[in-house]
Amino acid sequence: MTLFDLTGRRALVTGSSMGIGLALARGLAAAGATVVLNARNPERLEEAAEALRAEGASVDTLVFDVTDAQAVREAVDGYEADNGPIDILVNNAGMQHRTPLEEFPTEDFDRLMRTNVNSVFYVGQAVARHMIDRGAGRIINIASVQSALARPGIAPYTTSKGAVTNLTKGMATDWARHGLNCNAIAPGYFDTPLNKALVENPEFCAWLEKRTPAGRWGRVEELVGACVFLASDAASFVNGHTLFVDGGITASL
């Protein structure tokens, strides 16, 4: 099992004060990594950090806005200079906005793209520049089942997550020769704050349970194994891949 051991490595997880990001940070810490939590809200971030430290995790925090390219670069460069290398990056920060496409406000479209796509480029590039110099690194982008499927009212979100999948391929194509492994995880429907409106909708829950072969919502802890795998030496020849963790929803009509 040493293939999956992350002892001595440092992992930055964006958008990790709650939900999927916090669950992935907890899982990486359990595998031995020092985790660097990121969010814009320092109070919420420190609460998450204290919760992980109480569980025995080694935790740092890094407050910056993933949609601000200059802030991202300064935060990443500063952290590396003061604390050492970021060996693993999980680009998890994201948002959702549900509106019929013909009524979708342009400002919300732009905000969604900045959060879901631009941030992956900004943080990925800032971290990769250091990884390239070292000749090693792992980048894991959080895509979505919506990278492959669409539903009414979320066309821009579907667009953004399709872009994340293809940006992941581009990262692998450009950076694999420098020793980087760049992959994505595409969650299906998980019970998270982002999906609160759907979780509380009995009609949608009934549809989802019927539509998903596993017959239920996913639990955020069920994403940890995929993340640890892609972050570890076990995935040393896996590059440009999107791993769907979706209860079978993309496999079945």
**Catalytic residue ranges:** 157
- Centre a 10 Å sphere on the Cβ of residue 220 and count the other Cβ atoms it contains: 19
Name the nearest CA neighbour of 119 among 86, 92, 144. 92
Name the nearest CA neighbour of 95 among 167, 21, 168. 21
Strand ordering across the sheet containing 242-245:
59-63, 34-39, 10-13, 88-91, 137-142, 180-187, 242-245
In the DSSP assignment, the letter for residue 86 is -
Per DSSP, the chain holds a count of helices (H) and strands (E) of 9, 7
- By residue count, the chain amounts to 253
User: C-alpha 139: how far from its chain's center?
Assistant: 10
